[in-house]
Amino acid sequence: MKKIFICTLSVAFLAAGLASCGKSSKGKMANEWKVTEFNSTETETESNGDKTVYTTTMTETSGTNSTASTSNGSTTTTTSTFTVNTNEMTIEKDGTWTSTRDVSSTSNGVTTKVTMTANGTWSFVGKTKGDEFKKNERVMFNTLSETTTQVVSFGGTSQTTTSTASYMTGESVMIYTVTESKGKELALEAEIGNSSTYGSSTSSTSGKTTIKLAEK
């Protein structure tokens, strides 16, 4: 599955823990936020040396997606840019959240506009014996539903497609470490790491996501 954040906080994998950095509270988390910075890198490596690196970066107004594929010692990189029209998230004290992201791009006279909305529940991850985290240093976002609408316009005509997905509680989860939590600023960070073996072949995936939010 490939969802390098063109879906706000609804990335469907469980993140591994990071070093202890900070903590928050329901009062500090609950707010209407705008995403000011987003950076995500995911690397897939095969036992034969092939490697693919997916990178997404965003500011409040623009973003870049890139894919670098290495095979037989040769690397091919593709890059695309887009405009960020909206990238917002509302976190409620009652343990629910909603997000909206609207981005657009134009290539060869074709304009593509993608709007993504999602909602779910959130809670702090409790401290467990032997870990390095303090109370309220990790937060879990559980996605319950998400909708993506794509509008493609060319030559005065447009075509709209919409897809929706719903999840059971715990099926689509992201766990972040709170690296900064102030009254008007929030910073989150997560890492992933896994590997699998099939016969004589081994593949591994590693990645890191950082998000900075500011009060709207």
Sequence ranges of the domains in the chain? 26-215
Strand ranges, E, within 108-184? 110-124, 138-154, 157-166, 173-181
Per-residue pLDDT tens digits for 42-86: 999 999 989 999 999 999 999 999 999 999 989 999 999 999 999
Separation CA 192–CA 209 (nearest Å): 9
Per-residue pLDDT tens digits for 138-153: 999 999 999 999 999 9
What the block records as the tokens of 152 is 């493609």
67 within 8 A of 52, measured Cβ to Cβ: yes
b or e along 166-201 (b: 16 or more beta carbons within 10 Å of the residue's beta carbon)?
Answer: ebeeeebbbbbbbbebeeeebbbbbbbeeeeeeeee
159 confidence band (pLDDT: 50, 70, 90): very high
What the block records as the tokens of 9 is 């906080």
> pTM value?
0.83
* Residues near 130 by beta carbon (within 8 Å), at least 6 away in sequence: none
